[in-house]
Structures are given as structure tokens and as C-alpha cells.
Amino acid sequence: MQILTKNNSSFFTSYFSTISTTVCDVDIVLLEKAAEVMLQAKANGKKIIFVGNGGSAAMASHLSVDLTKAAGIRAINFNEADLLTCLANDYGYEHWVARALEAYADRGDVAVLISSSGKSPNIVNGVSQAREMGLPVITLSGFEADNPLCKLGDINFWCNSGAYNVVEMTHHIWLLAIADYIIHIQAGKATR
């Protein structure tokens, strides 16, 4: 049984072309600004807090570990099942992120809030809480250009796609690029 056909090959060619296009469709200045905000947090003894749902939560875990280990910037995420289910049960799923920020964020920490659709109520409500606490906010969203999350942050990244995996992969690459840029900048300063 032959599974691969010309149609499968053209699917993958088109898919990777789409990923490449969306990844490259970013304002480099925003990537640099996000790195600056994170480096400033480090200089001030603050931390980066990553939050997302589903695939974006996995991304939040990956980035918090990479920034902490490889870039020396304290970073956390809220992916502990007991924390998430406790806060969601007591306050409603749409409020658990706000409650977690209230409990764990300190003034000057940076909140990175990720929602593929930009419509996740828990993430949108998290921005309001972060603002109330004086946290710089970086958002990542996709789907519709006018989604609720898209304009709420100090720095807003939007992926021009309506496909979850394309949006999530693009967000992941952008965030890892920021982490690698920070590592690069710090290595350059160390050699001077």
C-alpha cells in the first residue's frame, strides 16, 4: 500500500510554505522590544509569566524553562493541574488566570499572554488583572485581526492565520526567536 502521493507532497510543500510566510510576517522591531522588556525585567530582579491554554500552555512551559535555564531570566507558567483546577473551580475558568496573576505576580513582572483566537476569556481577563497590577503585557494571538486580545498589550503579536497549528507554531517560533536573541545579546555583552 503506497501512502505517499503527489497530493501528499504538495500538501506538505504548501503547509511549510504557509508556516514560513506567517513566521516571517512579523515586525522585527516588536521582537526586539519584547526582548528589551524581558531583559529590563531581569535587570530589575523581576520575572516573566507565560500563560496560555492547550498548545499555548505547552508553549508557555517551554519558554519559561528556556528563559530560566538558557537566558538566566526567571520565568514561570501556571500549568500545574492543582493550581488551574482549584482557581477555575473556585472562581470560574474565565477568571483563573487573573486570580493566578493576583497571587503570583509582582509589580514589574512581565505577563506574556497567549491565545490563538485572541478570544479566550481567561486570557483576556488576565490582561485586565496584569494592567491593574502594573505589569508590562505582551500578547500573542491569531485568527481575526480585530480579536479582543490583539490590542490589549504593550506589545501585541498577531499571526495572520485561522489555522490553530499554524498560529501556534508561529507563536512558538517567534517566542523562541526572542529567547535566542536575548541569549545572543547576553553572550555579546559577556565577551566585551
pLDDT at 181: 98
pLDDT at 9: 77
Q: Which residues contact 77 (CB under 8 A, 6 or more apart)?
A: 49, 50, 51, 57, 60, 61, 63, 64
pLDDT at 188: 87
Digit-by-digit pLDDT tens for the chain (192 residues) are: 556 666 677 999 999 999 999 999 999 999 999 999 999 999 999 999 999 999 999 999 999 999 999 999 999 999 999 999 999 999 999 999 999 999 999 999 999 999 999 999 999 999 999 999 999 999 999 999 999 999 999 999 999 999 999 999 999 999 999 999 999 999 987 665
CATH of domain 27-190: 3.40.50.10490
Query: What 3-state DSSP class applies to 80?
Result: coil
pLDDT at 50: 98
Half-sphere exposure of 97 (CA within 13 A, CB side): 25
Backbone angles phi, psi at 158, to 5 degrees: -130, 130
Nearest to 179 by CA among 86, 73, 83, 108: 73
Extract the C-alpha cell encoding 172: 512558538
Domain boundaries defined on the chain: 27-190
Backbone angles phi, psi at 77, to 5 degrees: -140, 170
